[in-house]
Every structure is written in structure tokens, then in C-alpha cells.
Amino acid sequence: MPPSHSGVLDSRRSLSFRGGVALINKYFHSNAPQSVVVNGLTYYLDPLDSLALSYLTYEPEITELIDKYVTSGSIVVDVGANIGYHTVFASKRAKKVVAFEPEPNNYALLKKNIEANSCENVTAVNSGLSEAAGTANLHLCESNTGSHSMVSDGKAVPISLTTLDDYLHGERVDFIKMDIEGAEGLALKGMLKTLEKWRPIVVSEFRPANIKKSGIDPEWFFKVFNDLGYSIKEIGVPIGKITDDTTHNYLFLPPQARV
């Protein structure tokens, strides 16, 4: 029987400890369980338990936003789905979820977790999102499978890319969660038509140093949303000294969603 836990830890604790737990599991990975049950949902884990699901509540601030804004009629897009933690959670609230995950091992676990939780309303796509369709190198992080990135260095695997505009072909989307380790600006370039047409709620990770590495001006990232009338709120504010290398999460709310 897989370990089970529920409840919510302070989001700042979750953010600050998660990286440390992944590092610990790099050396003591034999102690990481194969699966866990969180809030009644089963998740099969990568060997390092990179999301620290067996130790911590993962990104509770984002889970709370999904719970607040996603309804039974919502179309959700999960950009950087990893093993499907947010995908599975959203699927139990939404009409439909489209989950993009380019890395082969994460994608296999994503599919396994979709099946384990009978998420028949989820479409898993083995591709990354960017500004144009094509291919790219995804650089692998050995200590945390949630930190694979197109803007890092080191060992890499080839991945396919598409744009959200191309994938959706004008279809509606209501809520987007985006966490792709510095490639968020590139993905944003490929979803401008979708944002202009549907004004979905967007929750996105934002790390200025990585955004710059992708060739995107961080100020442009926010300008896109400002020009479309979105309000911008930081969630799960980081602890300690804030630098260009600090990871942030932002909630971008369109006018119709401001409640």
C-alpha cells in the first residue's frame, strides 16, 4: 500500500525545502517509495521523488488556485506536466485537461498516473511548447527530474516542440499552468493568439535569469499580460534575498476572472 498524506504546508516551506529533499533523494533514492497517495489520488514517482510528494505538500498555492478557478466546464492546459501532479488534480475538477510533457521518462509516469486515477478527460502530449514547431535539446538534471530545461547545459535528449496556438487551432482554453524551467517566454510567444481570443487564467513560474537565457526580455513577458488587461499577482513569495536567479510564481488574472 503506498504511503498517504494530506493537508497543506506553508507554500514558502514547500518551495524552500523541495530542492533539498530532491538532493537528499539523489543519494538515498532507495528509500523513496514507488508511489504515494495524496488527497485520495495515487501518484507513481520518479526514482528520486523529485517533487518530494512522499515528504511535502507540493506547490499547495498552485493547487489552491486550481481548486478555486477550475470548474466542471473548464478546459485546462498543463505546460510542463512532469509526472502529472497538477494534471491529475485538475482533471477531477475540469471538463478537459491537455498536458504537455516532452521528457520521455516523465511522460511515461504522466501516462501511468493518468491511468491510475482514471482520468479519461486528459490528453497527454509528448511535446514541449515553444514559439514555433520543431525540435530542441532538453538538458537533463540528474538530481531533480522536474528541473530538466532547454536553457541549461549538460547531457540532453532531443524533444519535439509545438505551439499552443497550433495545437488548439482556435479551441477554447480557460486555465493554463506553465512551469518549463526558463522556456516560459518562448511558450508565451506561441500562445499569443490563444490569449488574445480566450483570455484564460494563467499561473506561471518565472525565473528572470532563465528567461533571459532563452532570449526573452523578462519585461516583455509581463507586458503581454498588461496589454491584454490582466492583473498580476505573485504567489508563494520566495524567502530570502531576491536575485535574477530566484524562482517566482505569478497569477495572471483576466478582467472576467477578478473575484
Count of structural domains, the chain: 1
In this prediction, residue 142 carries a pLDDT of: 66
In this prediction, residue 257 carries a pLDDT of: 80
16: which 3 cell numbers?
524552500
In this prediction, residue 57 carries a pLDDT of: 87
State the Cα–Cα distance between residues 223 and 62, nearest whole angstrom.
22
Which residue, among 120, 63, 116, has the nearest Cα to 95 in the 3D structure? Answer: 120
In this prediction, residue 150 carries a pLDDT of: 53
Which domain, by its residues, includes 110? 59-257
Q: Which residues of the chain are under the pLDDT cut of 50?
A: 1, 4-18, 22
In this prediction, residue 50 carries a pLDDT of: 86
Identify whether 39 is part of a domain: no
Local structure of residue 88 (DSSP, 8 states): H
Over residues 79-130, the pLDDT tens digits come to 999 999 999 999 999 999 999 999 999 999 999 999 999 999 999 999 999 9
Predicted model pTM: 0.87
Distances from the Cα of 43 to the Cα of 37, 89, 155, 178, 181, angstroms: 6, 11, 27, 20, 22
Chain Cα centroid distance, residue 29: 23
CATH number for the domain spanning 73: value is 3.40.50.150
Identify whether 11 is part of a domain: no
